[in-house]
Amino acid sequence: MKPMLLRALCSVLCLGLLISTLSCKPAPKPLTEEELVGLAKQFAGFFSGGKPAEAVNMMDATMKAAMPEAKLIEAWASLTGSLGAYQPSPGTRCAEEAGYRVVYVTLAFAIAEVDMKVVFDTPGKVAGLWFGVPRVAGSGMYSPPAYASQDSFTETECVVGTGQWQLPATLTMPNGSGPFPAVVLVHGSGPNDRDETVGPNKPFKDLAWGLASKGIAVLRYEKRTRQYQGQIGDPAAFTLDQEIVDDAVCAVALLRATDKVNPARVFVLGHSLGGMTAPRIAARLGAGQGGAPKGLILMAANARDMLVLIVEQTEYLAGLDGQISDTETAQLAQLRDQVSQARAGKLKPGAAVLGASQAYWTDILAYDQVAAAKSLDVPMLFMQGERDYQVTMEDFGLWKESLAGRAALTFKSYPALNHLFIAGEGRSNPTEYGTAGNVAREVVDDIAAWVKGL
């Protein structure tokens, strides 16, 4: 199946990728929600109706340069070629993200649906465009994993944090008197919910129910960037601490204060960017009241920096059909240029390239997760799907090589599993995330055995 264009594919570590560079934060919004929805539907109509010139006329100057008529035509051909005939009946929903007005338009095709994210500037011009992961038609709904014994645990609602950034959460507690070991689940990039939902898949729910069935309490929570979309403050000051670390530290504190939890046996499990950030979370905890966690579980954690992975993943997706077109080659060159700007610290104030500001990239690039892991005196379990194209076996190998000789480390890789730790066959691609599945039983078994063995 031919992949969609580079910008139409899922992002590295679930990080959204805008096509254009949004050069400044919008002023107060003069257009109503209804007007923006109307503009988004009009744009979608031009895009899907063979009127690329009219669609381009709705863009701002930056977008016109980044996505001229020829690229729109190729994007539409790639969508229909991959997902079948278009079935007009677009649904919409509005959002405000990092100060920008956004309308999501759901485009339905014969075998899948795709959310098209249309970003508007103040005058109502299209300033950014992004396509989500296809949700494959007929791929089913979420079903609990067979290894989850739902009569062996109880779930209660709670709140992580206090004050401005309180986050709705779910505590999954094994039945019995305890005290139980406990795990905090830390999300990857993007505005994830507490289940880390991707299409019909809910890997964090699988982990919570599977581990609780084996006598381990689990806390999962809405990510701040989901619960407070558009309310996170100045994007230029947003860093990894605000995205992940601060809330994870609060989650650990909540678990340690919870009845039936053994406060000395609380673990942090990070997936993807959450795994990369786990050593930073542990260091913060170690420097404060309560001390470091009992151990870290790093699932699909990148050892290299995210900008490297963004380019690598984009190259992989472009070549899934066995060739890279001239347009894709040009897009890759543009992406490498944006990455170079971010790496050199040359993004303009207020700019949002690759979905984040210069402050965010500066913070990410200054953080050496491998060095941070070396400095910790806690057990660590590294887990990697060998079919993962977002964080690859190269990262897994770098962790092993860099931490060689350090005590209390365990490494597990799984030949059939993808980035979500769900089994599949052949080369992994974004469309498989739209097919319902569950985190593999062996992953849950290995985590439970490791936790109970410490």
- Does residue 78 form part of some domain? yes
**CB burial string 124-138: b at 16+ within 10 A, e below:** bbbbbbbbbbbbbee
Report the share of the chain in percent with pLDDT over 90. Answer: 53
Pair (250, 283) in one structural domain? yes
| Residue 270, amino acid | G
**Predicted pLDDT at 96:** 73
- Specify the residue for token string 């809330």: 247
- Does residue 344 form part of some domain? no
* Beta-bridge partners for 129: 118
Number of folded domains that form the chain = 2
**Predicted pLDDT at 331:** 78
Pair (258, 219) in one structural domain? yes
Q: With 60 as the cut, is the pLDDT of residue 24 above it?
A: no
**Predicted pLDDT at 430:** 82
Domain end residue (candidates: 138, 168, 190) = 138
- Specify the residue for token string 């993962």: 388
Pair (65, 126) in one structural domain? yes
Which of 42, 47, 22, 46 shows the shortest CA–CA distance to 122? 22
Name the residue with higher pLDDT: 98 or 259: 259
- Does residue 329 form part of some domain? no
Q: With 50 as the cut, is the pLDDT of residue 23 above it?
A: no
SS3 173: strand
Q: With 70 as the cut, is the pLDDT of residue 18 above it?
A: no
**Predicted pLDDT at 97:** 66
Q: Indicate which CATH number applies to the domain containing 11.
A: 3.10.450.590
Pair (98, 208) in one structural domain? no
- Does residue 305 form part of some domain? no
Which of 441, 429, 435 shows the shortest CA–CA distance to 200? 435
Digit-coded pLDDT (tens) for 292-343: 999 999 999 999 999 999 899 888 888 887 888 887 788 788 888 888 988 9
Digit-coded pLDDT (tens) for 32-63: 888 999 999 999 999 988 888 999 999 988 88
Q: With 60 as the cut, is the pLDDT of residue 17 above it?
A: no
**Predicted pLDDT at 282:** 97
Which residue range is the domain that position 375 belongs to? 150-300+368-452
**Predicted pLDDT at 287:** 93
**Predicted pLDDT at 392:** 97
Longest dimension (CA), the chain: 67
Pair (274, 374) in one structural domain? yes
Mean pLDDT over residues 245-260, rounded? Answer: 97
Q: Indicate which CATH number applies to the domain containing 222.
A: 3.40.50.1820
Domain end residue (candidates: 138, 165, 182) = 138
Q: Which residues does the annotation mark as catalytic?
A: 272, 388, 419
- Does residue 94 form part of some domain? yes
Pair (37, 166) in one structural domain? no
SS3 48: helix
Question: How many helices (H) and strands (E) in the chain?
Answer: 15, 13
- Does residue 317 form part of some domain? no
Pair (404, 381) in one structural domain? yes
Pair (55, 189) in one structural domain? no
Domain end residue (candidates: 116, 138, 160) = 138
Pair (75, 160) in one structural domain? no
* Beta-carbon contacts of residue 71 (< 8 Å; ≥ 6 apart): 5, 327
Digit-coded pLDDT (tens) for 64-103: 887 888 778 877 877 776 676 788 776 888 877 656 688 9
First to last CA, the chain: 45
- Does residue 310 form part of some domain? no
Digit-coded pLDDT (tens) for 190-224: 888 999 988 889 999 999 999 999 999 999 999 99
- Does residue 340 form part of some domain? no
Pair (80, 123) in one structural domain? yes
* Beta-bridge partners for 182: 217, 266
Digit-coded pLDDT (tens) for 104-146: 999 888 767 888 989 888 788 898 888 876 766 556 788 999 9
SS3 343: helix
Apex CA 259: angle with CA 254 and CA 265, to 5°?
A: 70
C-alpha pair distances (Å), 403 with each of 237, 308, 397: 32, 21, 10
What span, in angstroms and rounded, lies between the C-alpha atoms of 313 and 52?
28
Whole-number average pLDDT of the chain: 86
Pair (58, 188) in one structural domain? no
* Beta-carbon contacts of residue 388 (< 8 Å; ≥ 6 apart): 300, 417, 418, 419, 428
The pair phi, psi for residue 253, each rounded to 5°, is -60, -40
**Predicted pLDDT at 256:** 97
Q: Could you count the other beta carbons within 10 Å of the beta carbon of residue 71?
A: 19
Mean pLDDT over residues 277-297, rounded? Answer: 95
Pair (284, 401) in one structural domain? yes
248 pLDDT band (50/70/90 cuts)?
very high
The pair phi, psi for residue 273, each rounded to 5°, is -60, -35
Strand order from edge to edge, sheet including 153-160: 153-160, 167-174, 217-221, 180-186, 261-271, 295-299, 380-385, 409-414
**Predicted pLDDT at 350:** 57
**Predicted pLDDT at 180:** 98
Listed in order, strand segments (DSSP E) in 79-166 are 91-97, 100-108, 112-120, 126-131, 135-136, 153-160
